[in-house]
Every structure is written in C-alpha cells, then in structure tokens.
Amino acid sequence: MKVLSVASECVPFVKTGGLADVVGALPRVMDGQGVRMRVLLPGYPQVLQAAGAGETVMEDNTLFGGPGRVISARAAGVELLVLEAPHLYGRAGTPYLGPDGRDWSDNPERFAALSWIAARIACEGAAGWKPDLLHGHDWQAGLAPYYMSRRAGRVPSVFTVHNIAFHGAAPAGRLAALRLDPKDFVQDGGFEFWGRINTLKAGLIWSDRITTVSPTYARELTRPEFGAGLDGVIRARAGELSGILNGIDTEVWNPATDKALAARYRSPRGKAKNRAALRSEFGLEKSSGPLCGVVSRLTQQKGLDLMLDALPALLDRGGQLVMLGAGDAALEAAWLAAATAHPGVAVRIGYDEALAHRLVAGADALLVPSRFEPCGLTQLYALRYGTIPLVALTGGLADTVIPASPAALAAGASTGVQVHPLTAETLALGLMDLCALFEDRETWARMQENAMAQPVGWEASAAAYARLYREVSGAE
C-alpha cells in the first residue's frame, strides 16, 4: 500500500522538535509493514539542497502568490516529494519564524500551499504515483483533508496530532486567500474557532481518522485542561481517535555503538566513564548525588520554570544538574542565572545533537517535568541508556515510565520517578525520592536494568499504524 505523508519537518532534513523524528522514522518502519511511504515537505533551502536535482512530478503556477513545483527525490533513505516554491519557503531562519523571532505573516498561505499540493497529489496522482491514503501531521497539514474533500479522486486520510497547542490560526479575512469556502467558516462542523480560521481544527474535522502520539494524551485531549479549546471537537470524534505511542530510532540511540561517545557505554558500568566525561565537559566537580540532565526546548510546556524552584531539593543532597536547551529568552536567562548562582548547575544554551547524546549517556537521571507531553522522546532515549527518568504524570510520559511506587519497587519493575500533580513542591519531593533511590545502589541498578529492557523502538506502533491504514483505506 502507498501512503503520502505530509509534514513540515522530517529528520535529517529539518527539525525543530520530536515531530521531525517521527516523520523521519515512519517511512523506514512502515516499509517493514509493507507500506511504501513518500514524504511531502516544504522546499526550505536545506531540504532542496538535500533533495538535489530530482525529477519534476507536478507544476502549479498559481500557488498562493507564485509558481511552485514538486520534485521527487530520494535522500537519506527517504522518498521525498519536495514542494519548491521560493516565494513561500526560500528564506533563512526557522521553518516558522523570521529573523525577528516572530511568525512569518504569511504562514497561513505557506502551509495552505503545502496542504493544497498534498491534496492535488493524493487526488490526481503525480507522475503516475497515487497514494491509497494521506497521512497528515499537525496544523501545517490540517487543510489537506479539507481540500481533498472538495476535489474528485479523494483518498482516505489519517491526521496525527503531535501537539494540540499549535492551531495554525489565521484571520477570518484570509478565507478567500486560503481558498476556503465561507460556508465552512462555522463553529459547528467547520474550521471557525473564536472568530478565526483554525487549520488544526480543519484536520480534526475533515480527516477520516485522528491519531495522537500516546494513549494517555488521546484521553487527555478529550478534557478541557488539555484540549486547548478543541476538546469538544475531539470528544465528538472520540470513536475515530486513537493513541499510538512514538518509538525512537534504536540505531541512532544505541548505547553500545553511539558515535557521540568517546568511552563506549555498553553497560551500567560504562555509565561512570560517561558521567565523568560529562562532568568535565560542563565544568562540574565530582559529587555524591545523582547527576541529572535536561535536553529540551525551553517553553512553558516543558515545566522547567518549576524545576528552578525545586532545585535546592536536589542540590542540598549532593545532586547536580546539566541542561542543554534553547527557547524562550526569559527561561534561558533564568537558567543561566541559576548556573551562575549554583556550582552544581551547568547550562548550555543552544541546539546540539551530539551533546544531547553525551548528556543522555552520562547523566544518572533525566528530568522531564512537562505540564503536558503528547509523547516525549527524551525519556525514551534515557531508558535505553540506563538513565532514570523523572517525569510528570502526563501524556506519553505516563505511558512509558513505570513509577518507583512501593508496589512496583517490590515487584522489581520500576524504571523511573513520576510526579503528580505537578508543582514546584511535588517536583522537590520527586527529586528527594530520586536522591534516596540513587543512594540505594542495589535498587538503582535494578531500575537501570529495567529501564534498558523496555521496548522503546517502533515495532508495536508500526504494526498499529499499518492496521489503521489498512482499515481506513481498504488497501492491502
């Protein structure tokens, strides 16, 4: 069966978060399920460069303000369809923000164009290739099922929510520019949301099935606290919603072969070497407590503001913290100030893939205190490296960490520490629990073994996607 995957990010070409990892992994893992996937991406400069010359398989001279064409190419093992449209994507900066750090004002048109071309490829086929199903990811692909519904030749669609907080909103005045029918600009059964166009909502309404990236987040999405105003829409489609857990690339994140590590990890014993290397890289003294790590975007979602207040509970017990992150200027500044104030805290602001590996390998524990977390990938990396995750009890974090509760400890099943509800005080208590567990060498070693034995690859979830694709499309 043939699937057109539509997204704005894909590893190794363009990434701002976990979405890119998932979109990049799916073609490979689905291949093993008999699913041939092609990924449609915007032609950002780095994507065009990776794609090379390729073959033009579709042209469109009226693509939201200029000409565009679709290039078919194979790069890094992925079958790509790249939408080259210099007036939309030929810019420096991140996929979404200009050099001033603000959203590009024409983001609605930029991603409407991606969805428009996705719908054309799905309905008309491109150079003889017509998919059996369209799989769209997040708001950037939200309009694709809608545009398909207005053309002949539509195919079934699956729409995956990686983060419901991003709506892809546009002013109502852009309806015509975005080729949207005003009669669908309604609250009930349309893409209107508080007076604006909401492209995520379009995806939720016009797709045949909705998935999200963990079973717990699927349940959370039906509740006002997590639904970002769209919980009613989700509840109305609860029967067509499922949560399929993300996996990680267990080759890239393999402690036995990780090229980012000088001293190979291989077993919990290797941890000591990687920890010492990490301490010296961050300029930290040796200390008796656990060395905790954070690899994260610095945004409200990730709860790391609360961690600042909980820090003394860790530092007072000889624990330390190393952070690699980037994002909100205020949070970056607050963490840099914490590093100046406390000799046990070291912070690196920036994005650094190799350092992320060294950090996960060298830390004793990884902290993920998210307010919400659709799936989360870093706790999965941590498990694989025998690095004990301390997580908030939410979304995919709840689904992937077995807490150090008395019962789970007695059964020898724990893999981490869970905090609930999430406040600075409960986080402090969680850090104290973590320090106590760390002192109990036998229990800690057992938790490390359990963590490393968890299945964090794609096997089960690839099979779940394949079942869903076949059920929705009827294709073999």
Q: What CA–CA distance (Å, rounded) separates 379 from 141?
A: 27
Eight-class DSSP state of 113: H
Residue 214 C-beta: closest distance to ligand ADP, Å? 10
Q: Is 377 in the site for ligand GLC (CB under 6 A)?
A: yes
Q: Which two tokens stand for residue 65?
A: 């303000």
Eight-class DSSP state of 172: G
Q: Which two tokens stand for residue 370?
A: 């998210």
Cβ proximity to ligand GLC: between 163 and 198 the closer is 163
**Mask for 385-424, x = binds ligand GLC (CB under 6 A):** -----------x----------------------------
Residue 186 C-beta: closest distance to ligand GLC, Å? 29
Work out the end-to-end distance of the chain between its first and last CA atoms, rounded to an integer number of angstroms: 6
Q: How many CA atoms lie within 13 A of 37 on its CB side?
A: 28
Q: Are 250 and 459 in contact (CB under 8 A)?
A: no
Q: Is 47 in the site for ligand GLC (CB under 6 A)?
A: no
Which residues of this protein are in contact with ligand ADP, per CB under 6 A?
17-19, 21, 295-297, 324-326, 351-353, 356, 375-378
Q: How far is CA 206 from CA 9, 49, 274, 420, in A?
A: 22, 34, 49, 35
Cβ proximity to ligand ADP: between 28 and 237 the closer is 28
Closest CA relative to residue 389, chosen from 379, 378, 375, 404: 379
152 exposure class (CB count in 10 Å sphere: 0-12, 13-18, 19+)? exposed
Q: Is 358 in the site for ligand GLC (CB under 6 A)?
A: no
With CB atoms as reference, the residue minimizing the distance to ligand ADP is 18
Cβ proximity to ligand GLC: between 168 and 270 the closer is 168
Q: What CA–CA distance (Å, rounded) separates 237 from 352?
A: 39
Cβ proximity to ligand GLC: between 319 and 369 the closer is 369
Cβ proximity to ligand ADP: between 306 and 324 the closer is 324
Closest CA relative to residue 381, chosen from 207, 258, 236: 258
Report CA Rg, the chain. Answer: 23
Q: What CA–CA distance (Å, rounded) separates 171 from 129?
A: 35
Q: What CA–CA distance (Å, rounded) separates 162 from 215?
A: 12
Q: Specify the stretch interacting with ligand GLC by CB under 6 A; choose among 173-181, 195-203, 327-335, 374-382.
A: 374-382
Q: Which position among 4, 10, 11, 22 is part of the footprint of ligand GLC (CB under 6 A)?
A: 22
Residue 325 touches which of ligand GLC, ligand ADP, none (Cβ within 5-8 Å per kind): ligand ADP
Cβ proximity to ligand ADP: between 63 and 422 the closer is 422
**Mask for 424-453, x = binds ligand GLC (CB under 6 A):** ------------------------------
Residue 475 C-beta: closest distance to ligand GLC, Å? 25
Q: What CA–CA distance (Å, rounded) separates 90 from 110?
A: 11
Closest CA relative to residue 255, chosen from 419, 167, 374, 387: 387
Q: Is 457 in the site for ligand GLC (CB under 6 A)?
A: no
Q: Is 7 in the site for ligand GLC (CB under 6 A)?
A: no
Eight-class DSSP state of 246: -
Nearest-10 Cα torsion for 261, 266, 271, 275: 0
Residue 4 touches which of ligand GLC, ligand ADP, none (Cβ within 5-8 Å per kind): none
Q: Specify the stretch interacting with ligand GLC by CB under 6 A; choose among 16-24, 31-39, 44-52, 54-62.
A: 16-24
Q: Is 246 in the site for ligand GLC (CB under 6 A)?
A: yes
Cβ proximity to ligand ADP: between 242 and 301 the closer is 301
Residue 199 C-beta: closest distance to ligand GLC, Å? 17
Bridge partner list, 161: 212
Q: Is 197 in the site for ligand GLC (CB under 6 A)?
A: no
Closest CA relative to residue 414, chosen from 422, 423, 405, 424: 405
Q: Which position among 375, 390, 447, 462 is part of the footprint of ligand GLC (CB under 6 A)?
A: 375
Q: Is 17 in the site for ligand GLC (CB under 6 A)?
A: yes
Q: Is 374 in the site for ligand GLC (CB under 6 A)?
A: yes
Cβ proximity to ligand GLC: between 19 and 197 the closer is 19
Cβ proximity to ligand ADP: between 260 and 408 the closer is 260
Q: Which position among 163, 216, 320, 400 is part of the footprint of ligand GLC (CB under 6 A)?
A: 163
Dihedrals phi, psi of 359, to nearest 5 degrees: -70, -45
Q: Which two tokens stand for residue 14?
A: 């363009």
Residue 353 touches which of ligand GLC, ligand ADP, none (Cβ within 5-8 Å per kind): ligand ADP
Q: Which two tokens stand for residue 176?
A: 């015509």
Backbone dihedral region for residue 34 (phi beyond 0: left; psi -120 to 50: alpha; all else: beta): left
Residue 213 touches which of ligand GLC, ligand ADP, none (Cβ within 5-8 Å per kind): ligand GLC
Q: Is 322 in the site for ligand GLC (CB under 6 A)?
A: no
Q: Is 202 in the site for ligand GLC (CB under 6 A)?
A: no
- Alpha-carbon torsion (288, 289, 295, 300), positive or negative: negative
Cβ proximity to ligand GLC: between 18 and 457 the closer is 18
The residues of the shown chain that bind ligand GLC, judged by CB under 6 A, are 17-19, 22, 162-163, 213, 246, 373-377, 396
